Amino acid sequence: MIPASFDYERASSLDEALSLLAAGGEDARPLAGGHSLLPLMRLRLARPSLLVDIGGIDELRGVQDDGDSVTIGALTTHHEVAGAAALTGGSGLIAKVAEGIGDPQVRHRGTLGGSVAHADPASDLPAALLALDAEVTLAGPGGTRSVAAADFFVGPFMSAADDGEIVTGVRVPKREGWGSAYQKFQRRAQDWAIVGVAAVVNWTDSGIAGAAIGLTNMGGTPLRAHAVEAALTGTSEKAQILAAVSKVSELETPPADENASSEYRLHLAQVLISRAVAEAAGCPGMQR
């Protein structure tokens, strides 16, 4: 299929991009790696009147170590994120997630900002950002602002970004000393997750001192499994973890599609949470 016709502008700075978007009105859309937007346009499910190509704006690219947090520019590709040395401790989760997105071509073209802005509940990065209490930074005609990941994803393909705003990056707390894991379950290597579980765990001699769980494709937005996290804290044995993960059923009813019924998704989530927690805790005895 061939997209409906559209206008195209290439911006050389963030300010230029913002003014082009403002001038283009509500049907203008920013274009980064194109790996979410172009497939929709090809099927004519998206029909933007104007694409503002922000791919050449260098100020939006790169990974910066801020000490106890890491700032990742929106145009940083998944491949670059996967190899970022600054992502240590719990924030290493972001690199692990990026490493498994799509296929090599997608990872070399697709960008972190594009994935976040697209707000697809089946995308991997949003759940990881949620688990890490990351912040999404936005720039718009009225200036810049930060939104907590928990407030950014508001519905399927809907975010807190206003028309004319561009996602400029994310700030991720490092959580030194925490372990991380992303358990992604899919039919084919390059598919979206049927269910994904992003876990960061603070494992101590006395067991789990803290845990945060983000879920991919278990609802209309990425979800935090707060009840599971609370039940996990203080546990140290497999049986206790299995009891804790059952609390995932307290969340909204997961979606059903051609790959999985709601019931099976809920079952998968429990299996994958227990595996992700065990992996993140770095405690082989808790696995399997």
Partner 1 sequence: MATAEKYVGGGVPRKEDPKLITGQGQFLEGLTLPGMLHAALLRSPHGSARITSVDVSAAAAAEGVVAAYSGADLADEWAAGLPMAWPVTDDIRIPDHWPVAQDVARYVGDAVAVVVATSRNAALDAAELVEVDYDVLDAVVDVEAAVADGAPRVHESFDDNKSYTWALTNGEVDEAFAKADVVVKERYTQPRLIPNAMEPRAVVAQPVPSTGDFTVWSTTQIPHVAKVLFALTLGIPESQIRVIAPSDVGGGFGSKLNVYAEEALCIALARRLGKPVKWVAGRSEGYLATIHGRDQVQEIEIAATSDGDILGYRVHILAAMGAYLQLVAPGVPLLGAFLYCGCYGGEAYHFECTGVFTNTTPTDAYRGAGRPEATYAIERAIDSLAREVGVDPAEIRRRNFLPAGDMVQSPGGLAFDSADYEPALDRALELLDYDGFRSDQAERREGGGSRQIGVGFSSYVEICGLAPSQVLASLKYAAGGWDAATVRMLPTGKAEVVTGSSPHGQGHVTSWSQIAADALGIPYEDVTVLHGDTHVAPHGMNTYGSRSLAVAGVAVHNACDRVVDKARGLAAHLLEVAPEDLEYEAGTFSVKGVPDRTKSMPELAFAAWTAHSLPEDSEPGLEASCVYDPPNFTFPFGTHVAVVEVDTETGAVDLVRYIAVDDCGPVINPVIVDGQVHGGVAQGIAAALYEEATYAEDGTLETSSMVNYLVPSAAEFPSFETDRTVTPSTSNPMGVKGIGEAGTIGSAPAVINAIVDALSHLGVTDVPMPASPERVWRAIQSAQGGEA
Report the residue number, 79 or 145, with the smaller CB distance to partner 1. Answer: 79
- How many positions of this chain bind partner 1 (CB under 8 A)? 23
124, 97 contact by CB (below 8 A): yes
Per the structure block, which two tokens stand in for 58?
Answer: 């260098």
The yes or no reply on residue 187 touching partner 1 (CB under 8 A) is yes
Task: Compute the least distance from the CB of residue 2 to partner 1, in Å.
Answer: 6
Residue 45 binds to partner 1 (criterion: CB under 8 A):
no
* Residue number with CB closer to partner 1 (5 or 206): 5
Dihedral sign, Cα of residue 82, residue 83, residue 84, residue 88? positive
Q: Which amino acid is at 183?
A: Q
Residue 189 touching partner 1 (CB under 8 A)? yes
The answer to whether 64 contacts partner 1 (rule: CB under 8 A) is no
Q: Min. distance of Cβ 230 from partner 1 in angstroms?
A: 24
160 binds partner 1 (CB under 8 A): no
Q: Is 43 in the site for partner 1 (CB under 8 A)?
A: yes
State which of residues 105, 190, 204, 253 lies at the interface with partner 1 (CB under 8 A): 190
Q: How far is CA 99 from the centre of its chain?
A: 12
Q: Does 260 bind partner 1 (CB under 8 A)?
A: yes
Pick from 128, 140, 129, 260: nearest CA to 181:
128
Q: How far is the CB of 185 from partner 1 (least distance, A)?
A: 7
Closer residue to partner 1 in complex, CB, 47/226: 47
Does 204 sit near partner 1 (CB under 8 A)? no
Cα–Cα distances in angstroms (integers) from residue 216 to residues 12, 28, 167, in the given order: 34, 28, 20
Q: Which residues pair with 51 in a beta bridge?
A: 8, 29
Please give the Cα distance from 256 to 265 (Å, whole number). Answer: 8
Radius of gyration (Cα) for the chain, nearest Å?
19
Task: Give the shortest CB-276-to-partner 1 separation in angstroms.
Answer: 13
Q: Which of 191, 240, 249, 255 binds partner 1 (CB under 8 A)?
A: 191
- Strands of 114-178 (E only): list them: 135-140, 143-148, 153-155, 158-159, 166-173
Does residue 271 interact with partner 1 by CB under 8 A? Answer: yes
CA count, 13 A, side-chain hemisphere, 232 = 33
Tell me if 268 contacts partner 1 by CB under 8 A: yes
Binding test (CB under 8 A) with partner 1, winner from 53, 249, 267, 283: 267
The answer to whether residue 188 forms part of the interface with partner 1 (CB under 8 A) is: yes
Identify which of 274, 278, 221, 281 has the alpha carbon closest to the alpha carbon of residue 251: 221
Please measure the distance between the N-terminal and C-terminal CA atoms of the chain and give it in whole angstroms: 45
What is the binding site for partner 1 (CB under 8 A)? 1-2, 4-5, 43, 103, 185, 187-191, 194, 258-261, 264, 267-268, 271-272, 288
